């Protein structure tokens, strides 16, 4: 009898997993950064993300979180409680305020070598669109950050 119950529970759990559709990962790109009012020891920016949904179903979200690493070190983070929906095979721009403390900038500056420029610094943007227990979509974007006019600058 116990084996029959265990087998039934196993079959039910496997069929429950089949009910959750698999989703393709979101395509996320930073499309803009604008300054926001700041406090004394921090700088704030509005990061604009273009979120592309390559799935056959809409993505509903009710919160956004971001973490930005530059040159292997944490630089900025931000959260927003905004909510919305990105229709199937569609895109939207999501704006997230992020903060950078003066101490973080100091750590970043000290982490640069004397010969390193501000051109082609590696970055990793990690985040998530919250959508409940099974609807949260995590994303990662990696690349090289080049600041305008920084090709000749060295630290």
141 near 124, Cβ under 8 Å? yes
Q: For the chain, how long is the longest CA-to-CA vector?
A: 76
Answer whether residue 1 is part of any domain: no
Bin 134: left if φ > 0, else alpha if -120 < ψ < 50, else beta.
alpha
Decide if 152 is inside a domain: no
Does any domain span residue 139? Answer: yes
Q: Does any domain span residue 150?
A: no
For the stretch 46-67, pLDDT in tens is: 989 999 999 998 889 999 999 9
pLDDT digits (tens, 9 = 90+) for 10-46: 766 665 555 555 678 888 888 888 889 988 888 898 9
Token match 């919160």: residue?
Answer: 63
Q: Are 109 and 115 in contact (CB under 8 A)?
A: no
The answer to whether residue 17 sits within a structural domain is no
Find out whether 57 and 108 touch, Cβ atoms under 8 Å. Answer: no
Q: Which domain holds residue 55?
A: 24-145
Q: Is residue 15 part of a domain?
A: no
Q: What is the CATH number of the domain that holds 125?
A: 2.60.40.10
pLDDT of residue 153: 41
Q: Which two tokens stand for residue 44?
A: 């704030």
If one counts the domains in the chain, the total is: 1
For the chain, how many residues are written? 155
Tell whether 132 is covered by a domain. Answer: yes
Residue 44 lies in a domain: yes
Res. 134 pLDDT band, cuts 50 70 90 = low
| Radius of gyration of the chain measured on its C-alpha atoms | 21
């Amino acid at each position: 009898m116990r084996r029959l119950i265990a087998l039934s529970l196993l079959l039910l759990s496997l069929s429950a997993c089949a009910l959750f559709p698999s989703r393709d990962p979101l395509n996320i790109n930073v499309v803009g950064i604008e300054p926001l009012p700041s406090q004394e020891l921090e700088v704030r920016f509005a990061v604009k993300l273009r979120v592309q949904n390559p799935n056959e179903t809409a993505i509903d979200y009710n919160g956004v979180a971001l973490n930005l690493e530059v040159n292997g070190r944490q630089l900025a983070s931000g959260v927003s409680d905004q909510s919305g929906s990105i229709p199937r095979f569609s895109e939207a721009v999501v704006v997230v305020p992020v903060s950078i403390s003066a101490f973080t900038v100091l750590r970043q500056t000290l982490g640069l070598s004397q010969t390193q420029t501000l051109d082609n610094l590696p970055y990793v943007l990690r985040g998530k669109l919250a959508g409940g227990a099974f609807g949260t979509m995590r994303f990662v974007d990696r690349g090289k950050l080049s600041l305008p006019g920084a090709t000749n600058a060295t630290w």
